[in-house]
Amino acid sequence: MAVQTLPFGTLIAVDRQSAIPIFRQIANSLIKLIRKGKIKPGYQLPATRDMASMLKLNRTTIVAAYEEMQAQGWLEVIKRKGNFVAQHLPVTSPKSFEASTQERLLSLDQKIFYRQIAVPQPLTRQLKPYQMMINDGYPDARIAPLDLIVDRYKFLSGRTNVHNRLLADGSKGSNLLRTELAHFLSKTRALDITPEQVLITHGAQSAISIAASMILQPGSTVVVGDLNYPLADRLFEQQGAKLIKVKVDHNGIDIDEIENICKQSVPSLLYIVPHHHHPTTVTLSAERRNKLLDIIRRYRLPVIEDDYDYDFHYENAPILPLASAEHDNFVLYIGSISKTLSPTVRLGYLIGAEDFIWQASKLKQVLDIRGDVLFEESVGHLFNSGEMQRHLRRSVKLYKSRRDEFCEILNSSLGDHAKFNVPNGGMAVWTLFDPGYSIPQLSERLAAQGIYLNDGSIYKYKDDTNGMRLGFASLNTNEMQSFAHTLKKSR
């Protein structure tokens, strides 16, 4: 069987008019490829006969080229095996792409041709792999009915007539999933919608991106909480918008301040998480909710309502979304199926007026053509069969129990170093540490024990905030106790 190799016939050019002997031209070209990192140490070069055939040269010329490289220390000959690029090269190893990029950026005559994302690169971690992750509020994938999705996916994939039907559903997503979501959201959130008002997206973050792209342009203004979902803030800024930050307290975002902003100049967009606000988990009070709806209608203020974990409420009944009230089509409602099943299941949805969703689907088509409609159809079957609803009931009961256990553990493990309120819903506890307490150092100490914990830096954009979200939903009792034991030793 022939060994796959690089196309040396196109990589090596021979100039028969040059005063440099051809064998040396071959050797120099190969050495240049090694210097550039195109050929790595230990790479086996083609046999002399094969290389001669590729370059359309005499075999003795290739033999001479290889001998020249061997003499310079670039090539090692192993008997009965072949010719290999030396493991220890006679010059410094090729620099990485990143290093080369940095050098180029330092040159004054070079221009950066791409937009910069203002996010620091994470430090390289040289510790043992993480054995546990304390996330900022993810579901437990171990209890999700993922096997049912896989079974349905296999069933559908074997029926070719289904594929054509699903492709016809277009960029809005699977018609079955949109229909089931319209029914589910109407029943659980009082949203008066049809399937034509539902756009399936690659997660809730994608839904935010599409909705914002339909509204924002460079110079737009977006009202957000002074503590807010960090990836939404970055997204809006990346689209050229200016953020106007409004205080968030125990009753949610300050609606009076939003009204004052609108009186001066109506912003392009309001992004709000009224139910289980991210990151603080507080819920917008009924009084503020009613006043905000009046402001939306009066000032014709476009709103993205991010309701990422509405279904996970543990005390009384959850408040209905803004989108369930009269809002003159100015509220775009976003939800997440990932938060119901698993963070690796990337499905979300965007709800809006029928024309807006049609336009948004055309934008989505430019970005992604369509999602995995076969997978969407399989998830739609979960709703249709009632299995999703049963999973939600089981999950809410389990996560409530885990919330209570986790909060008890935090009380005993953190002592006087931090304070928190027991959340009414969601999957995380917003924890505020003493001003002098170093969350990054705690993160490092836990990492040394194989436990991942965010260092809190993503919420540090507010000077007096020394806090972070501690997710509990994805941890069973043994994992919580292990975390508590390590936390006590590391605090």
Handedness of CA 174, 177, 183, 185 (dihedral sign): negative
Question: What mean pLDDT is reported for the chain?
Answer: 89
Phi/psi of residue 160, nearest 5 degrees: -60, -30
For residue range 378-435, list pLDDT tens digits in order. 999 999 999 999 999 999 999 999 999 999 999 988 878 889 999 999 999 999 998 8
Q: Where are the domains of the chain?
A: 1-114, 132-138+391-490, 145-387
Q: In what order do the strands lie in the sheet with 303-306?
A: 198-201, 348-351, 331-336, 303-306, 269-272, 221-225, 242-246
Q: Are 193 and 187 in contact (CB under 8 A)?
A: no
**What is the CATH number assigned to the segment(s) 132-138+391-490?**
3.90.1150.10
- As its CATH architecture, domain 1-114 has Orthogonal Bundle (1.10)
Cα 10–chain centre separation: 39
94 pLDDT band, cuts 50/70/90, is very low
Contacts of residue 373, defined as CB under 8 A and 6 or more positions apart, other chains included, come to 166, 167, 169, 173, 174
Share of the chain above pLDDT 70, in %: 90
Identify the CATH class of 145-387: alpha beta
250 pLDDT band, cuts 50/70/90, is very high
For residue range 135-189, list pLDDT tens digits in order. 999 999 999 999 999 999 999 888 777 777 777 777 899 999 999 999 999 999 9
- Whether residue 279 has a cis bond before it, omega within 30° of 0: yes
Q: Are 130 and 451 in contact (CB under 8 A)?
A: yes
C-alpha 34/C-alpha 43 separation (Å) is 10
113 pLDDT band, cuts 50/70/90, is low
Same fold, 132-138+391-490 and 145-387: no
State yes or no: pLDDT of 107 exceeds 60: no
Cα 227–chain centre separation: 20
State yes or no: pLDDT of 268 exceeds 50: yes
Higher pLDDT, 19 or 357: 357
Q: Residues 330-344: what's their mean pLDDT?
A: 95
Cα 146–chain centre separation: 20
Contacts of residue 429, defined as CB under 8 A and 6 or more positions apart, other chains included, come to 281, 403, 406, 407, 410, 420, 422, 423, 469, 470, 472
